[in-house]
Structure 1
């Protein structure tokens, strides 16, 4: 049982040096709203609307810390030249009454970018690259300590640039099969040195990244880690491992953990809690994404959505640490949100629900609504690759014209 008083989801909370006006975070989702690697005007419009609708903090997804760290060609990337466009986004969010978090990432071998500074994409271990089946990069390259220290510096610099761009928080992506996850996961990490083997060793490099980011911006910004509590496959980390990971990230000083699950290539239904509909694959025009979805269809059984589908796993983390935790995974009603609060979680992170209704939090607080209109159909995932970017199929599609314009352009 949770010994602490149950907070209202509409009450403020301190996360590191930051205070959020309520307990709702828009989770990072690939919106498909980057124009030549910088935020589009449509991305500014989306995130501004989310905080105007009551969400305390919105997370801008997949901001690569280097050109090599990108997964897709148009991915948002932190550089000096991109700062005016990120600043336009954070200005819009702040003017709408909310806070902005930048999710900083490096894809490692989970990439479709062939133009890179290394011969092969970097990862925890070398050898066959299963992600490369979709891009022709069939081999990956094990990182040296020099490579790791370079990436540590890139994460720290990415965090500094995020601060310069006006972001209030940074979220280090340690899940879903990207580079830091490739070190944490026994499926990817086959090293025999101090960065491989035991879970503690596999966390060594991600902890170095976290420490560098905390040292760089931790006094001014909330430093958040998002990771996969369970990887959803027998050969991967379990929820018991996820609890141990949380202890180590707490020990290192993270201000908040966002509790996700699953891996992009091996267990995407663990992440989303339900299967992708047939329509997502048939109508997908991006050949790489269509192939990835087709592979998932053959690999995974049909999974029906249920609310709070990750709660059983998240409970193990809650029991292991005292630090603030954000629950993510199938909260789409006031009853579910209140249950999360009652079980000792500090915040709730939502993706699909807020894409369906960007004013859902205000509706909850006013009593105008209890249940979200979101059906967890996952069609918003395929909508990320349309000209207007992601949107809920129950509403209007994104504005393709705004999505083609860089945020700071006149």
Structure 2
């Protein structure tokens, strides 16, 4: 059943959507992954994750994606990541899945391996497709990786498949492969980061072998009716990186392979366009950062699409849906400030949300504190404790709390 009907003028945020495998999502509002940093010492979910996702489910979302869950406990992107593998305790995962699927909401786990994007206080020697360090000032915080051996690549592919199978067992209703923002899948796709000369690198066909292998390995474990999505960069926005042309080819290959849903984002830690850096005026006018790219993708494939980044008003969202460029509206940071936003957007066509620019007034402090991430993490932590978000939370308090939190970690050599 195709959802791209000719009467797209009547489309609304509250319209259901049926994926090709028959899974129906009750509306078009999609929560994109945000890092919650709410894992236990053993990297299981804390109770707070169940509370947080239940709050979002009750807020009216159609489909919610978890923050990135690591498939390998030896490779954490951040200290308090949740890990899903054979050593995980499935009980808190079951509780999380049950809470997050309340109110008819879908909850998919985002599965990730950070590759070389591991802070150096967590890992001495991360792995990557090639032994190429991060640049643009990041080399101070991230160690140079060593290149993966082929048997290790095959092991990581199986870890993704195992995590997906466990997610299904625990009651999550789908999975999303994190193929964006410079993590391992995205490192394999990038000619800048992947300079291998075996079957996993070189030509685009070789560079996309990893992501396709991950997809097929997951599909084999979860069956054809369980949804598998991917979050993919439209481009890395870096010289020598993954280009828009490359991205279109990867999208076509994934569509042919049978992927159920593609979420479009962009950028990497080195060039973070996912949080709206260097935005063109036309983009600002249309709200969403990646809509133009989505329109090009739509002409190539009929796989359902999500565009995330920049949406702030019901009007902008409905316009994007009716243009046919996207099937779902991806929201992240607005939901950290107002978990009830989906209900408001669906009942009031004039509703919009403004996010204030965050700054301490000291550029260096802003950068150190990664305010664009940490301030929102503190909002998620509040909701996890059954408190309302605090939109007027001070940037300086975020900075000091982050310092305190990271201070403990930087003094303790972690063996994850």
The equivalent residue for 2:307 is 327
Structure 1 distance, partners of 2:356, 2:6, is 33
**1:69–1:105 contact (8 Å) kept in structure 2:** no
Structure 1 distance, partners of 2:208, 2:382, is 33
- Mean Cα displacement is larger for which, 246-255 or 233-242? 233-242
The equivalent residue for 1:72 is 78
CA distance 1:136–1:365, change in 2 (3 Å): closer
- Pick 1 or 2: higher relative contact order, CA cutoff 8 A, min separation 6: 1
Q: CA deviation at 1:218?
A: 3.8
**1:39–1:89 contact (8 Å) kept in structure 2:** yes
Q: CA deviation at 1:129?
A: 4.9
- 1:353 counterpart = 2:334: yes
- 1:389 counterpart = 2:391: no
The equivalent residue for 1:97 is 104
- 1:207 counterpart = 2:212: yes
The equivalent residue for 1:367 is 348
**2:70–2:82 contact (8 Å) kept in structure 1:** yes
Structure 2 counterparts to residues 75-154 of structure 1, below 5 A: 75-79=81-85, 80-112=87-119, 120-130=125-135, 133-135=139-141, 137=143, 139-154=144-159
Q: CA deviation at 1:206?
A: 1.0
Q: CA deviation at 1:227?
A: 0.9
The equivalent residue for 1:312 is 292
- Mean Cα displacement is larger for which, 363-372 or 163-172? 363-372
Structure 2 distance, partners of 1:181, 1:355, is 26
TM-score, scaled relative to structure 2: 0.81
Secondary structure of 1:39 counterpart: coil
CA distance 1:114–1:216, change in 2 (3 Å): farther
Q: CA deviation at 1:166?
A: 0.9
Secondary structure of 2:67 counterpart: strand
**2:133–2:139 contact (8 Å) kept in structure 1:** no
**2:229–2:259 contact (8 Å) kept in structure 1:** yes
| Post-superposition CA distance 1:366-393 (Å, at most 9, x none) | 2275212434659562225649737765
- Mean Cα displacement is larger for which, 202-211 or 45-54? 45-54
Structure 1 distance, partners of 2:289, 2:139, is 31
- Mean Cα displacement is larger for which, 356-365 or 223-232? 356-365
Secondary structure of 2:66 counterpart: strand
The equivalent residue for 1:9 is 13
Structure 2 distance, partners of 1:225, 1:388, is 23
Structure 2 distance, partners of 1:9, 1:263, is 30
Structure 2 counterparts to residues 127-276 of structure 1, below 5 A: 127-130=132-135, 133-135=139-141, 137=143, 139-264=144-269, 266-268=270-272, 270-274=273-277
Matched length: 370
- Mean Cα displacement is larger for which, 231-240 or 181-190? 231-240
Q: 2:40 aligns with which of 13, 24, 35?
A: 35
- Mean Cα displacement is larger for which, 178-187 or 304-313? 304-313
Structure 1 distance, partners of 2:312, 2:224, is 34
Structure 2 distance, partners of 1:18, 1:202, is 31
The equivalent residue for 2:414 is none
CA distance 1:215–1:331, change in 2 (3 Å): same
| Post-superposition CA distance 1:330-349 (Å, at most 9, x none) | 11111211122122211111
- Mean Cα displacement is larger for which, 194-203 or 158-167? 194-203
Q: CA deviation at 1:221?
A: 2.0
The equivalent residue for 2:54 is 48
CA distance 1:30–1:197, change in 2 (3 Å): same
**2:116–2:145 contact (8 Å) kept in structure 1:** yes
CA distance 1:396–1:140, change in 2 (3 Å): closer
**1:273–1:330 contact (8 Å) kept in structure 2:** yes
- RMSD (Å), alpha carbons: 3.0
